[in-house]
């Protein structure tokens, strides 16, 4: 192989490829979410300010009393100082998006620090407020850029949910629906108040904000929340997410999410064991926990996690009544290591076949630890269940 070609390939991999994989795809060393024990999330807007589109975004946010974070380009902020002041006066956070909208891969690594430092200081002078968060254009990182971000005391921010308002042909209703499908407590959502996305975002918020608030979400700017800069503890859940998604597709598990609190999923299934009055094979629905949602509910403490599960019982009852896939179910059941905790919710318990209990118990314990759960003194998986009539009592 040509040594120049090999050297160029290696340089491109180190400069762009590895940062793309580690920071953009896996989200390591950047903040893609915030701590969320009570349905908090962050709405963020890139590329502004723009007097042609930013006011519509501000109007929609103000109508619903929602504050957000605006990642501003320093060059545009200087041209539209009155719009920057309007953002601050409305209670929104001003954050840094850079000087101009250029991908980090195309910038000189040697000039990144002075450029970023100058843009940060100028934006602070314009806004009269400290700049604490930085997101580069396109969410593109390089290691020199990440180092410069840390040297300036800025929190590097990515996103968990991309609204796609910038996409060709994007319609406000579609953008709102996409965010509602993908959002969860703690999500950082990225939209745009300038450029192609800016022409869509204001109208999309008209549809999105009432739905988010009605579902119990609590939008706030990043400076009022606690961004989670992902370390190795966040890696296991990110790597397991595709595995859980594949499992859901294979076994037709669907979310039962009617609010920010929702943590359960359901799949049509037949009862695997004999129960009093319910023989094996009885039509039913198997309850699955959404591990990531429960993990985030637990960030508010054990009581907050229990409250999320209790509030989600009404979701199961609603699905039993409204979803045709579950209207023939006579029993709703699942497998749990925490069957004692579920008793106050009305669940009965029953033993599982020993071999199956060991296998599924080990897998569930591994998931529990991967999602940040503490070590358990006892690992015992049991069947938990509710009859159709008991569930409808919720």
pLDDT value for 12? 55
Based on the residue annotation, tell me whether 138 is a catalytic residue of this protein: no
Q: Is 351 exposed, middle or buried (0-12, 13-18, 19+ CB in 10 A)?
A: exposed
pLDDT digits (tens, 9 = 90+) for 245-269: 999 999 999 999 999 999 999 999 9
Average pLDDT, the chain: 93
pLDDT > 90: percent of the chain:
83
Q: What pLDDT does residue 394 have?
A: 84
Kindly report the CA angle at 48 between 45 and 52, in degrees rounded to 5? 110
Catalytic residue among 23, 46, 97, 261: 46
CA distance 304 to 298: 6
Contact status, residue 39 vs residue 31, Cβ threshold 8 Å: no
Strand partners, 187: 33
Q: What is the mean pLDDT of residues 54-68?
A: 98
- Show me where the domains of the chain are located: 9-229, 232-392
What is the per-residue pLDDT across 317-345, written as a single tens digit (0 to 9) for each?
999 999 999 999 999 999 999 999 999 99
What separation in angstroms does the CA of 191 have from each of 62, 114, 176, 221?
16, 28, 11, 13
For the chain, how far is it from start to end, CA to CA, in angstroms? 68
Answer whether 188's CB lies under 8 Å from 32's CB.
yes
- pLDDT tens per residue, range 4-33: 554 555 555 566 778 888 888 889 999 999
d(CA 345, CA 73): 51
Options 3.40.309.10, 3.40.47.10, 3.20.20.370, 3.40.50.300; CATH of 9-229: 3.20.20.370
The tens digit of pLDDT for each residue in 65-101 reads 999 999 999 999 999 999 999 999 999 999 999 988 8
In this prediction, residue 393 carries a pLDDT of 87
The SS3 of residue 345 is helix
The predicted pLDDT at position 37 comes to 79
Task: Give the count of beta carbons closer than 10 Å to the beta carbon of residue 138.
Answer: 13
Q: Are 253 and 285 in contact (CB under 8 A)?
A: no
Statement: residue 388 has pLDDT above 60? yes
Greatest mean pLDDT among 170-184, 234-248, 289-303 lies in: 170-184
Q: Which of 23, 192, 207, 368 is catalytic?
A: 192
DSSP state of 351: -
Residue 35: pLDDT over 90: yes
49: preceding bond cis by omega (within 30 degrees): yes
Alpha carbon dihedral 268, 273, 275, 280, in 10-degree steps, equals 70
How much is the average pLDDT of 286-291?
Answer: 95
- What mean pLDDT is predicted for residues 123-147? 96
Q: For the segment 160-196, what is each residue's pLDDT rounded down to a tens digit?
A: 999 999 999 999 999 999 999 999 999 999 999 999 9
288 noted as active-site residue: no
Tell me: pLDDT of 61 over 90: yes
């Amino acid at each position: 192989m040509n040594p120049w070609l090999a050297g160029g390939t290696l340089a491109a991999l180190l400069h762009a490829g590895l940062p793309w994989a580690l920071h953009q795809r896996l989200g390591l060393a950047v903040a893609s979410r915030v701590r969320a024990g009570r349905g908090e999330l962050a709405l963020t807007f890139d590329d502004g300010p723009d007097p042609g589109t930013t006011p519509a975004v501000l109007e929609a946010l103000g109508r619903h009393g929602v504050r957000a974070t605006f990642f501003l380009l320093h060059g545009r902020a200087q041209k539209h100082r009155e719009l920057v002041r309007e953002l601050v006066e409305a209670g929104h956070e001003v954050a840094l998006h850079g000087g101009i909208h250029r991908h980090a891969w195309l910038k000189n690594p040697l000039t990144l620090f002075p450029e970023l430092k100058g843009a940060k200081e100028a934006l602070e002078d314009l806004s009269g407020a400290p700049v604490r968060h930085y997101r580069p254009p396109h969410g593109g990182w390089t290691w020199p850029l990440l180092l410069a971000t840390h040297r300036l005391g800025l929190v590097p921010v990515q996103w968990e949910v991309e609204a796609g308002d910038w996409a060709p042909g994007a319609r406000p209703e579609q953008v709102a629906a996409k965010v509602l499908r993908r959002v969860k407590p703690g999500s950082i959502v990225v939209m745009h108040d300038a450029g192609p996305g800016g022409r869509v975002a204001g109208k999309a918020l008209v549809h999105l904000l009432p739905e988010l608030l009605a579902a119990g979400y609590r939008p706030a700017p990043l400076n009022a929340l606690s961004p989670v800069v992902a370390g190795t503890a966040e890696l296991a859940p990110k790597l397991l997410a595709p595995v859980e998604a594949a499992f859901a597709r294979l076994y037709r598990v669907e979310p039962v999410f009617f609010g920010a609190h929702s943590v359960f999923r359901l799949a049509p299934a037949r009862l695997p064991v004999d129960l009093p009055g319910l023989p094996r094979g009885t039509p039913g629905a198997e309850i699955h926990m959404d591990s990531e949602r429960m993990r985030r509910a637990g960030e508010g403490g054990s009581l907050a996690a229990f409250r999320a599960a209790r509030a989600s019982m009404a979701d199961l009852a609603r699905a039993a009544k409204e979803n045709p896939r579950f209207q023939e179910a006579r029993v709703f059941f699942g497998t749990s290591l925490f069957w004692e905790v579920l008793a106050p919710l009305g669940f009965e318990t029953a033993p599982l076949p020993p071999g199956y209990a060991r296998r599924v118990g080990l897998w569930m314990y591994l998931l529990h630890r991967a999602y940040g759960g503490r070590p358990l003194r006892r690992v015992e998986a049991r069947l938990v269940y509710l009859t159709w009539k008991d569930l409808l009592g919720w």
